[in-house]
Structure formats: C-alpha cells, structure tokens
Amino acid sequence: MTDNVTTLLNSLPQLWEGIQTTLILTIAGSIGTIIIAIILGLAMTSPHGWMRIPARIIVEFFRGTSLLVQIFWLFYVFPLLGVELDPLMCGIGALSLNYGAYSAEVVRSSIKTVNPGQWEAAIALSLSPARRMIRVIFPQAWALMIPSLATLLIQLLKGTAVVFFITLSDLTDKIQQLRQSTGDTVFAFTVGLVIYFVIAWLIQELMNLLERQATKRLGRRRPNSRSDRREARRDARAESKREAGATTVPGPSSGNVGYGGAL
C-alpha cells in the first residue's frame, strides 16, 4: 500500500497532465455544447418550418448515433475527406455535437414551458421578437434548464473518457499507466474514479451556483434548494416530536410557499 502511495506521488505530474486534458475537453466541450444547444434549441422553437425542420433533423441525427461513432467518424473519416483534424479538436467537436443535440432538446422544452402569459405580455408591450427572447423569455427558460444542463455536462465529463481511443492522453489513459506502474488495478482505478467524481461534484456545485444566480435575478426562490430542504427536514422533525407528545413545538417555518401541506 505504501508502495502504491509513493508511486502515486511520483506520477502526480503525469496524472495532472491527464486531468488537464480531461478538463480542457470538458470545459471546451461544455462551451460548445451550450452554444450548439442554444442555436438548435431556439431554431426548434421557431415558427418557421425552414428553421425548425433542419434543426430537428440535426438533433435527432446526433442523438440517435452513438458518441463513439461520431468521434471515430471525425477521427478516421474526416482525413479521408481531406480535412485533417487534431485529435483534441475531434474530441471537443464530437462531444459538443453529441451533448449539444441532447441539450438542444432541454433548451427547447424549457422555452416552451415558460408561462404563456409572459409571451403575451411581451407581445402586448410590443417588444421586438429578439428583445422578447433575450430580455423576457430566455432568462426564465435559463433558470429552468440549468438542472438538466448540469446532468448533461456531467455526462459530457464522463464522455470525455472515450478520447483515449483516439490517441489522446487524458485522465483515463494516465490511470492505465498508473495501473501498469503499480500493478494494482483496484488502487489505480479507485484513484481515477475518485478524481472523476470530484470533478463531477465541482460541475454540480458550479451549476447550482449559476441556478441560484439565475433564479435570484428573476426574483424567485430556487425550487428545492438546500435551505428549503433543511427547513423541510426541521419541520418534519418538529412534526414527529409533536406527535410523540413533546411540549415545546417550534413554530412552522415561514417564507416557504411550496411546503406546508394540509394544515
């Protein structure tokens, strides 16, 4: 075990290189994903068929074929067509297209679920279509779409592990090297999985932060936020105490609309 730890400490610089590759792919892929998702998602909500139909076809195409097929297509077939792509660009491109298509669906459904009254109000105030989308609809849809986007970005992080098939040396590749140098599969892969888990957790926290900001800008409370859940737990405990016959009962929490039930 101590041998393993020494080997791990010695290979930390290499491991860090792998983590950097994974992070570059994740960050660039996420940016690409969000850009593609917004373009395709907006196109899919368009009233014009000539925008909606091609967007729908692109989305179904990239959702229907597997990520690995797309990555291999970019890596092996594009050079035959005369387009040489750097492996890193292949990775980023395939990840953005694949997860962009999934996220486009999220963007579309979030825009559709914005209260129709908001659309009507924006039309009544005769805001131009672009202004209506940018100032009224999109900020509200954005708050709705962040939780689903967070899930998809974590999927993207997990998807980055395929790039070692196209000769990129990412975290997965470095874990393989660590496994070979320590000869201990369980140790090496546990280290690797924990690193991935920590990155995923960071993405989740970042997206929670974004969601808090987005809902705050709308002057709303984030649904099912951590403080809400804590309050709900406290209330449930107080409830069970009251049932058990305790004498001191803290008053019901205030300021939480969604919670309360039948009083």
Partner 1 sequence: MTWNWEFAVEALPILLQGFVNTLIATVVGTVIAAILGLLIAVAIRTLPRWINWLVRLLVAFVRNTPLIVQLMFVYFAFSDIPGLVSIPALAVGCIVIGIHYSTYMSESYRAGIDSVPPGQHEAATALSLPPVRTFTAVVLPQALRATIPSLGNYAVAMFKDTPFLFAISVVELVTSAKQFGGSTFAYTEAFTLAGIIFLAASYPTSLLIQRLDKRLATY
Among 45, 204, 203, 215, CA closest to 142: 215
Please identify, using beta-carbon distances, which residue of 137 and 156 lies nearer to partner 1.
Answer: 156
How many residues of this chain bind partner 1 (CB under 8 A)? Answer: 37
Which one of 42-50, 87-95, 189-197, 246-254 is the stretch in contact with partner 1 (CB under 8 A)?
Answer: 189-197
Tokens, residue 253: 């929490």
Q: Which of residues 35-64 bind partner 1 (CB under 8 A)?
A: 60-61, 64
Q: From the CB of 154, what's the least distance to partner 1, in Å?
A: 6
Q: Does 227 bind partner 1 (CB under 8 A)?
A: no
Segment lying near partner 1 (by CB under 8 A), choices 103-111, 141-149, 190-198, 228-236: 190-198
According to the binding rule CB under 8 A, does residue 68 interact with partner 1? yes
Alpha helices in 46-167 (DSSP H): 49-64, 67-72, 78-80, 87-113, 116-124, 129-131, 138-159
Do 56 and 45 form a contact (C-beta atoms < 8 A)? no
Q: Which is nearer to partner 1, 81 or 124 (CB)?
A: 81
154 binds partner 1 (CB under 8 A): yes
Amino acid at 97: L
| Shortest distance, position 90 Cβ to partner 1, whole Å | 13
CB of 58 or CB of 122, closer to partner 1: 58
Locate 169 and state its tokens. 């040396």
Backbone conformation region of residue 220, classed left if phi is above 0, alpha if psi is from -120 to 50, else beta:
beta
Specify the residue, 113 or 185, whose C-beta has the smaller distance to partner 1. 185
Closer CB to partner 1, 11 or 70, in the complex: 70
From the list 201, 225, 199, 228, the residue with the least C-alpha distance to 211 is: 225
Q: Is 65 in the site for partner 1 (CB under 8 A)?
A: yes
At 232 the three-state DSSP class reads helix
**How many angstroms separate the CA atoms of 63 and 36, rounded?**
13
Q: What is the Cα–Cα distance from 37 to 80, expressed in whole angstroms?
A: 29
CA 53 to CA 152: how far, in whole Å? 24
Contact 67, 95 (CB under 8 A): yes
206: contact with partner 1 by CB under 8 A: no
- Residues binding partner 1 (CB under 8 A): 60-61, 64-70, 72-73, 76-77, 80-81, 154, 157-162, 165, 172, 175-176, 179, 185-186, 189-190, 192-193, 196-197, 200-201
